[in-house]
Chain A
C-alpha cells in the first residue's frame, strides 16, 4: 500500500480532530467538515490520515469527499467567488454574470486563477433572492448584479 506523506503539524491537527470525535468511523463527515475548516480543502494525504485515524478504508473517505459538493480537493483562491445559480437568480440573469466573470478571470467554474487570487464556483440559493442575481466574494454579498458591474467588484480586490 502507498505510504502517507504528510507534515508533522498537519498530522497532529488531523489526529486531534479525529480524537475529538472519538475516532469513530460514523463521524467521518463531521470530521471532514472540521478538517476542511482547518485546511481550506481536503488534499489526498489529509484524507488518508483521516482514514487511518478513524480506522476506515480511504476509499470510503474519498467516496464521501467526491459525493458531497461542499468538500473540495482544490485549494480555494484568496478570494473565493460564488455565483448563485438558484432559480431566482437564474431567471434574473445570473448566467450572464457568470459568463462575464469567466471571461474576465479567464477561468472555468471550479478553477482558481493562475495567481491564486480568485477561485470561481457556483452555488444554489444563498437565500438572498430579493437581491437576485447574487454573487458572493468571500463572505461579502453583492446583490442585483449585472455583467457590467463585474469589473468594478473585482476591482475592489486589487491588493
Chain B
C-alpha cells in the first residue's frame, strides 16, 4: 500500500494506483477528457494527451497528468491549486479555440463530454481567436465524421486498432494538422471499416456520430399508403430506459412496445422472435456439420455465428479464404425482414412494396447490413430502415412521449412472441447459450438438466467451454471485440488446435448490450454489466426459455417453412458471403 496526501487529505491506495483513481477513492473527481477505460473489459485509452487532468505534485517541476501518474509513497498532490486551475482552464480554452461553436445543432448536444467540461469549469468565453481546423465531412451508411470537432483524444483510434484490429483509423499528419482519419483522408466507407461504430460509442464529442434515420421513419409513419412494421432487438429493452433517466439495467420491454405503438407503427413485433428462428436454423446447421464429421464426411468446423453484421463485414474483408466457416443463417434482423416481407405481407394481403420494415437496434452496423443488395428484392429492402436505441429515444421525445409514463403492453402476434433464449442474444455468450439449449435437446433427444450455461456468461473477452452432449464433447468459444475474433480465426486457420466446434463472435464490448447504438456509457463498464444482469433476469423470468419450444416458431415451420435448413428457409433465411478484401489490379 502507498500513502499520500491529496488536497490535504491522507489517502491510502494499492501500489500502481494512478493519482486519478486514488483521488476518486477520496471523493475528489479530477476532470478528464482523453482518458477512457472500460474497467474489466481490457479497454484503456490514456495517451496523456489532453492534459485536462493535470495536477500539482510537490517537488516536481511540471504539472503531472493524474490519469497516467502512479501514486508514490509520501506524495503531496494538489488538484485544485490556483496553478492547476489556471492551467486546466487554459488547456480547455485552447481545445475550445479549435472546436466549432455549434453545440445547439450538434448531434452530441447534451451528451458531449467537452460541453460538460466547459460547463463544469465555468468557461464563458474563449480568449484565443485563431485558425480552426477544417476537414471534409464524410459518412458511411452508419457513421458520420465531422473531424472539425475532433479533440485528438485518440479513443476511436485505440478502439479501431487495439480492440477491433480493424485498422481503418489512424492519427495522420502532425502538429496542429494532426487528426484521426482513414488513409489518404479518403472515405471511411472505402476503408477497412466494418461499421461496428465503436468509434462513435467512445467519441467524447460530436466528431463521430451515427447516420440519423429518424426522418426516414417518421416519413413512412406519416404515409397512409404504407403498413409500417417494427421489430426491436433484445439489447434495446435493457438500455432504452437510461435515456429517460431510469437506472441502468431497468427492463422496459412492455413500455417499449407501448411507446412504439404510440409512435404509430402498425405492427409492433420483436426481433426476439426471429432470434428464436435463427437458433433453429443455425443450431440445425451446426448439428448437420457435426454429424457429417462424426460420419467421417468433410465439413467445415468450427461454425462461427453470423448474427453480428460488424463481424460479417470483418471476415469478408479480412478472411476471404474462410467464408465457408460462418453460419449461412441470416441475422435475426434480416430473418425478421425476410419473414415480414415474404410471409407476413402475404398473410395480411399486401404487396411487399407497401410494407415498411423498421428495426430498432443497439447497433450501427445494422444500418449497413439492411442496405446490402442481397437483402432486397428488386431494390425493395427486407428491412427498410434501422434505428438505434438512441434514435428511438430521440424519436419518442420528439413525439411528445415519455417512456416513464408508458403502460406495459405486449408485442403483436405472430412475430412478437419469444423465449428466454432469444432475450440473451443481447449479451456476449447469449447466442451460444441459446443454441446449446436447443442443439443439445435436438441432438440428444433429452431434456437439458440445467438451462444456465454460466461458463459462457460474463464480460471476459474470450470464454471457452466443453459441453457434454451425452458423451459427445462439444468445444465452444465465445468472444467479443474483433481483435479477439481475428486471433480466433487465425488459430482456426492454423489447424484449429483446440478443436472448436462452435464459436460465437460479437464485435462490441459485452456483445450487443455494449453496441454502438446504445445510450452512451461514457466508459462506465458498470452500465454494461447492469444491462447484462437485466438480460439474464429477463431470461430467467420467461415461461419458455428454449427457442424450439416457441409455439409461434413451431407454427411457422408447420405452416410455411417446413423444416429448419429446408428448401424455403435456405431461400429466405440463409445468405452467402462475398470476398470483400483488397485486391491488386495490375495495370
A residues near B (Cβ < 8 Å) are: 1-8, 11, 44, 47-49, 51-52, 56-63, 66-67
Contact = CB atoms under 8 A, between A and B. Distances in A.
A11 B586 contact: yes
Nearest to B316: A1
Interface of B: 161, 166-174, 181-184, 186, 190-192, 317, 580-587
A59 B173 contact: no
Interface of A is mostly: helix
Contact of B585 (A3, A59, A60): A3
A4 B186 CA distance: 14
B584 A49 contact: yes
Contacts of B168: 57, 59
A47 to B, nearest CB: 7
B581 A1 contact: yes
Contact of A63 (B170, B580, B581, B587): B170
Contacts, number: 80
Nearest to B190: A2
B170 A57 contact: yes
A62 B584 CA distance: 18
Contacts of B182: 59
Nearest to A44: B184
B365 to A, nearest CB: 16
A54 B171 CA distance: 19
Nearest to B165: A57
Contacts of A58: 167, 183, 191-192
Nearest to A56: B167
A44 B191 CA distance: 13
B587 A6 contact: yes
Given A52-B582, A59-B182, 13 more contacts: A1-B580, A2-B186, A3-B584, A6-B585, A11-B584, A52-B584, A58-B183, A58-B192, A59-B168, A59-B181, A59-B192, A66-B173, A67-B172
A4 B172 CA distance: 21
A70 to B, nearest CB: 13
A47 B173 CA distance: 15
A67 B167 contact: no
Nearest to B168: A59
A47 B167 CA distance: 15
Contacts of B166: 57
Given A1-B191, A1-B192, A60 B170 contact: yes
A6 B584 contact: yes
Given A44-B184, A61-B183, A62-B183, A67 B585 contact: no
A121 to B, nearest CB: 17
B190 A59 contact: no
